[in-house]
Chain A
């Protein structure tokens, strides 16, 4: 196996690390959600990659084709995408509510407000 070998995996790893970085580094809550999405996308790529069979085609029964890719990871990832969308929706909804009640979506500012509230109570 010569370099870059199964380069899909390198992409998955790159996306994974990028996503995790984006979750942690920015103060902006929306950017964090974006990071979360990138991170999840990396997993989707990983799954799809492992379903690929060399020389295989899309798993739709057609005449004259013997080798198919494994359809199961595709199905799984469809589910995972749905879960991901739902998570994003809930996350963004929360950000909207946070913006309504704190007046900001920057985490450092929110933390200050939180601390102020803690001291007050």
Chain B
């Protein structure tokens, strides 16, 4: 039966498709192939979520080997939800990719892009689906290695150096995580996350466990680009090819946050992580700093892709903030923002991709007067920007609202103040672009023959934008799943 092997299919599909792309070699052919694979992966994850909703946790033994020796794929509400996000963004991004990839990378080398893309997708899905701590490391490296390649494909030569820096940071981060996993194995004799969860608690907080805890916290913070170890992110996003930026910005850091949640709620029990070790207090400070510093730096950027990248640093702060509160409301808010920010940044970077496709630049100068020439693209940017700010009826509002409720529940009034300040700063940096696009004449040297982006890019972009509004108005699905996942993680059965 195929349905019993859905978890394996989720990974094998993109993983096998990637080398096939190299064999196919033809740009157009690989594009359609990648589109089909990505949508199939999306279908699989949708089915998985449905199944998890119906029957609860799915445990799948890869190759029939029983844990703790074999690798187990274990899907509960939390990672079913993240799988859906990653595969949905992947499918939409690759559908959008063709014109942009043909232009920025070249039609004859396009197959390399789709290969790396599918590998990256497989890696990210793998990190999410697996129930084995070491396997997380392996998949993390698969996704990272392919994303280094994706970033290095950028046309600007600074993309190479950005990719190199990301490689150094990323490898250190992943290796720190690996050290943590090793130390945990030493104490418990298992790598299976569910087993680890039980045995770590049984072993109790001795020094090895504490050291593992610390290594993993630092490693994951680097991978998630949590302030102040975010330095690799802005340039990587700014100089990567447009399509790579869309995909990485919307998924890569999210998956790291997922691993963070998994590590500190399932492996180390939340009582230990947030009670004994007070991880929440540390992360909360960094999260708030990220929100403020990221937003403040974003205001002064002239390259809009880099501006959005700094905004991502700030938004990661929001997610970590929710997680650091370790309450049902906070965790719900953090996870909602995981989902919502993927939609927001996906839409915004897609708009920037369209702009780059037509104008060859994403500087604020090149935005001037663009609304008249590319009305649909700029309207999408405005809509995405509203969502980023957190205007009611968009997804951005929903997650911020939950974060606020969570902060108030614990009487953290200062967080309320900082959330509002960060939102005000978001208004400023989004507004700069809107003002340039709508209310300023084109600059003197600008090309005059700029047209609206092709339909192949507009349609996926607007699907993303409309999703921003749909999930901002009909919040039952996202809030429902996030709340139940949060309760599940906190062991709150009600």
**Given known contacts A23-B172, A36-B172, A83-B138, is B167 in contact with A91 (CB within 8 Å)?**
yes
- Cβ–Cβ contact A36 & B168, under 8 A: yes
A79 to B134, CA, bound (A): 10
- Cβ–Cβ contact B185 & A94, under 8 A: no
- Using Cβ atoms and an 8 Å threshold, which residues of chain A touch B164? 29, 91, 94-95, 98
Q: State the Cβ distance, A64 to closest chain B Cβ, in Å.
A: 25
Chain B contributes a number of interface residues (CB within 8 A of A) equal to 27
Whether B226 sits at the interface, judged by CB under 8 Å, is: no
Whether B179 sits at the interface, judged by CB under 8 Å, is: yes
Q: State the Cβ distance, A10 to closest chain B Cβ, in Å.
A: 15
The residue on B at minimum CB distance from A87 is B171
Whether A114 sits at the interface, judged by CB under 8 Å, is: yes
Q: State the Cβ distance, B362 to closest chain A Cβ, in Å.
A: 11
Interface residues of A in 1-53 (CB under 8 A from B): 20, 23, 29, 32, 36, 39-40, 43, 46-47, 50
Whether B186 sits at the interface, judged by CB under 8 Å, is: yes
- Cβ–Cβ contact B182 & A46, under 8 A: yes
The residue on B at minimum CB distance from A80 is B178
Q: Which one of A36, A43, A94, A117 contacts B148 once the chains associate, using CB atoms below 8 Å?
A: A94
Counting contact residues on chain A (CB < 8 A from B), the size range is: 20 to 34
- Cβ–Cβ contact B363 & A121, under 8 A: yes
Whether A86 sits at the interface, judged by CB under 8 Å, is: yes
A94 to B159, CA, bound (A): 10
**Given known contacts A36-B171, A39-B172, A80-B178, is B141 in contact with A87 (CB within 8 Å)?**
yes
- Cβ–Cβ contact A39 & B152, under 8 A: no
Q: Which one of B167, B175, B363 contacts A90 once the chains associate, using CB atoms below 8 Å?
A: B167
- Using Cβ atoms and an 8 Å threshold, which residues of chain B touch A87? 141, 145, 167, 171
- Using Cβ atoms and an 8 Å threshold, which residues of chain A touch B172? 20, 23, 36, 39
Whether B69 sits at the interface, judged by CB under 8 Å, is: yes
A98 to B162, CA, bound (A): 10
Interface string of B147-165 (1 = CB under 8 A from A): 0110010000110110110
Q: Which one of A29, A46, A117 contacts B158 once the chains associate, using CB atoms below 8 Å?
A: A117
Q: State the Cβ distance, B108 to closest chain A Cβ, in Å.
A: 18
Whether A76 sits at the interface, judged by CB under 8 Å, is: yes
- Cβ–Cβ contact A86 & B134, under 8 A: no
- Cβ–Cβ contact B175 & A40, under 8 A: yes
Q: State the Cβ distance, B102 to closest chain A Cβ, in Å.
A: 21
Q: State the Cβ distance, A84 to closest chain B Cβ, in Å.
A: 8
The residue on B at minimum CB distance from A117 is B158
- Using Cβ atoms and an 8 Å threshold, which residues of chain A touch B137? 80, 83
The residue on A at minimum CB distance from B152 is A94
A20 to B161, CA, bound (A): 19
- Using Cβ atoms and an 8 Å threshold, which residues of chain B touch A58? none
Interface string of B293-318 (1 = CB under 8 A from A): 00000000000000000000000000
- Cβ–Cβ contact A23 & B168, under 8 A: yes
- Cβ–Cβ contact B161 & A46, under 8 A: no
- Cβ–Cβ contact B160 & A46, under 8 A: no
Q: State the Cβ distance, A59 to closest chain B Cβ, in Å.
A: 13
Central interface residue in B161, B163, B172, B186, by most chain A CB within 10 Å: B161
The residue on A at minimum CB distance from B361 is A121
Q: State the Cβ distance, B54 to closest chain A Cβ, in Å.
A: 35
Q: Which one of A39, A94, A95, A114 contacts B175 once the chains associate, using CB atoms below 8 Å?
A: A39
- Cβ–Cβ contact B141 & A43, under 8 A: no
- Using Cβ atoms and an 8 Å threshold, which residues of chain B touch A79? 134, 138
- Using Cβ atoms and an 8 Å threshold, which residues of chain B touch A90? 145, 148-149, 167
Q: List 11 A-B contacts (CB under 8 A).
A: A36-B168, A40-B175, A43-B179, A50-B185, A73-B182, A76-B191, A80-B178, A87-B171, A91-B164, A98-B164, A114-B161
List 20 additional A-B contacts (Cβ < 8 Å) besides A50-B185, A83-B137, A87-B167: A23-B168, A36-B168, A36-B172, A40-B175, A43-B175, A43-B178, A46-B182, A47-B182, A50-B182, A72-B69, A76-B134, A87-B141, A87-B145, A90-B167, A91-B167, A101-B157, A102-B161, A114-B158, A114-B161, A117-B158
A positions within 8 Å CB-CB of B: 20, 23, 29, 32, 36, 39-40, 43, 46-47, 50, 72-73, 76, 79-80, 83, 86-87, 90-91, 94-95, 97-98, 101-102, 110, 114, 117, 121
B positions within 8 Å CB-CB of A: 69, 134, 137-138, 141, 145, 148-149, 152, 157-158, 160-161, 163-164, 167-168, 171-172, 175, 178-179, 182, 185-186, 191, 363
